[in-house]
Structure 1
């Protein structure tokens, strides 16, 4: 998938979302959820859109999942109410630069910043409707493994937004850290669906 900075900005504007464009490294962190019904695949994207120090418009897209893995959908639920599935939308000031399992990542800033569905039937399929919850904790943006190539989502996401490849994640994190030095360590996230494009 390819998308330009201008196209992305238009989609943000069309949906009434804030698009950050006031200076260099003013980040727009976003996800694009595919319409592919297969679970346990890295068939979504996580992206960054920003201007560099020369005001060039930059868009990065990384293979990712915005959905929980099969482990949490079939073997174990992340909560008594079910496994978290993030609802598409814009979530302002939802993440802060912190640590996930010992390495730097984006971590949930507070309870109540996200809206989710909960999948509780353990049939292995995504339940993307029903009651909306905001009780999720630990919904972070991180990667899979710094030691192994990972092909399946598995237990790596119980609702977290996960970049598949650690090298891609390192690129993502380097930009996030540069941004944090200018604007602070709190970040917003916007989750789109593929049909928004």
Structure 2
């Protein structure tokens, strides 16, 4: 899976981080947009101190929950992150000031669900 992911990133001109413990985080979306389901995957890979690649896959969702689709916070609809690479847009921080998570610190491009 590492070579497939790296080839996809290279074909799109995305940066691949190769210094020890610099994380490459890639979301693979399922073919269907379904709220309230962990049907996507987050792939995290990096080189360790021995210069060996380490690769992890986590179940995840990249889709907003049904509540936010039905009750958007923004008048133009609920935001979906547009495909792309967002270098230095996320860091480990506190989500809602409560628990550690990957949180957004720079602008990203979103697409709005208008209905």
Larger RCO (alpha carbons 8 Å, 6+ apart): 1
TM-score normalized by the length of structure 2: 0.90
Gaps of 5+ in 1: 122-197
Structure 1 pair 119–28 and aligned structure 2 pair: CA distance change class (3 A) = same
Paired residues for 1:1-197 under 5 Å: 3=1, 5-21=2-18, 23-74=19-70, 76-101=71-96, 102-110=98-106, 113-121=107-115
C-alpha contact 1:9 1:19 (8 A) present in aligned 2: yes
Q: Secondary structure at the match of 1:13?
A: helix
Equivalent residue pairs, number? 114
Deviant stretches of 4+, over 4 Å:
none
1:88 and 1:79 map into 2 onto residues whose CA distance is 20
Give a deviation string over 1:47-106, Cα, whole Å, max 9, x none. 2111112222111110000110111112x1021221111111111110122100311112
TM-score normalized by the length of structure 1: 0.55
Structure 1 pair 12–72 and aligned structure 2 pair: CA distance change class (3 A) = same
Q: CA RMSD in A?
A: 1.3
1:119 and 1:37 map into 2 onto residues whose CA distance is 12
Gaps of 5+ in 2: none
CA deviation after TM superposition for structure 1 residue 7, in Å: 2.0
